[in-house]
Amino acid sequence: MTISGMAVCGMSTPASKRYQRRVIVTTTVYVVVLLGAMFLVRHTHPHGWLLYGIAVLPALPLLGTLGALGVYLQEEKDEYARLVTMRSLLAGTATLLAVLVVNDFLRTISGAGALPPFWDWVIFFLSYGLAQAVQTMRNPVRDDA
């Protein structure tokens, strides 16, 4: 399971279960496509547009994961769960934008290097998960209630 496959709202709702099933599918497709693309590039040495096309293929299932988040928000009937997810998405987006803009200035003015590949994905989903965990901790559900 990738980092994007964690519980979407920290709660078990019918919509969040469907989201998790969709993420399992997109993650499985991602692994297969990534391995296939690496195999093709290593053994057939494509170039030009074909190489670009193969390079983009593994990104498509990951875009599907973002699509699954959108579908989840459409399907979720529990308004509090939807709010928790919306806040978490906002936290993830804001954190990613903040890191990127600081890195942009570091690169432009001080000649620092760019972030390593795929760190944007990690930063987004880590801050998304952290925002979700904070909200869960702020709304503890007691066993005896």
Partner 1 sequence: MRNRLRELRAERGWSQQYLAEKLEVSRQSVNAIETGKYDPSLPLAFRISRMFAKGIEEIFEDGA
The region of 9-17, 21-29, 35-43, 52-60 touching partner 1 under the rule CB under 8 A is: 9-17
How many Cβ atoms are within 10 Å of 19's Cβ, its own excluded? 24
Question: Measuring CA to CA, how many Å separate 10 from each of 33, 63, 81, 99, 115?
Answer: 29, 22, 8, 25, 29
Q: What is the CA radius of gyration of the chain?
A: 18
Is residue 79 close enough to count as binding partner 1 by CB under 8 A?
yes
Is residue 77 close enough to count as binding partner 1 by CB under 8 A?
yes
Contact pick of 80, 90, 94, 102 for partner 1 (by CB under 8 A): 80
| Residue length of the chain | 145
Is residue 75 close enough to count as binding partner 1 by CB under 8 A?
no
Is residue 129 close enough to count as binding partner 1 by CB under 8 A?
no
Contact pick of 7, 41, 51, 78 for partner 1 (by CB under 8 A): 78
How many Cβ atoms are within 10 Å of 77's Cβ, its own excluded? 9
Size of residue set near partner 1 by CB under 8 A? 16
Contact pick of 1, 109, 137, 141 for partner 1 (by CB under 8 A): 141
- Counting Cα atoms < 13 Å in the Cβ hemisphere of 94 gives 8
Tokens found for residue 81: 């769960």
Contact pick of 8, 81, 91, 131 for partner 1 (by CB under 8 A): 81
Residues binding partner 1 (CB under 8 A): 10-13, 77-81, 83, 136, 138-141, 145
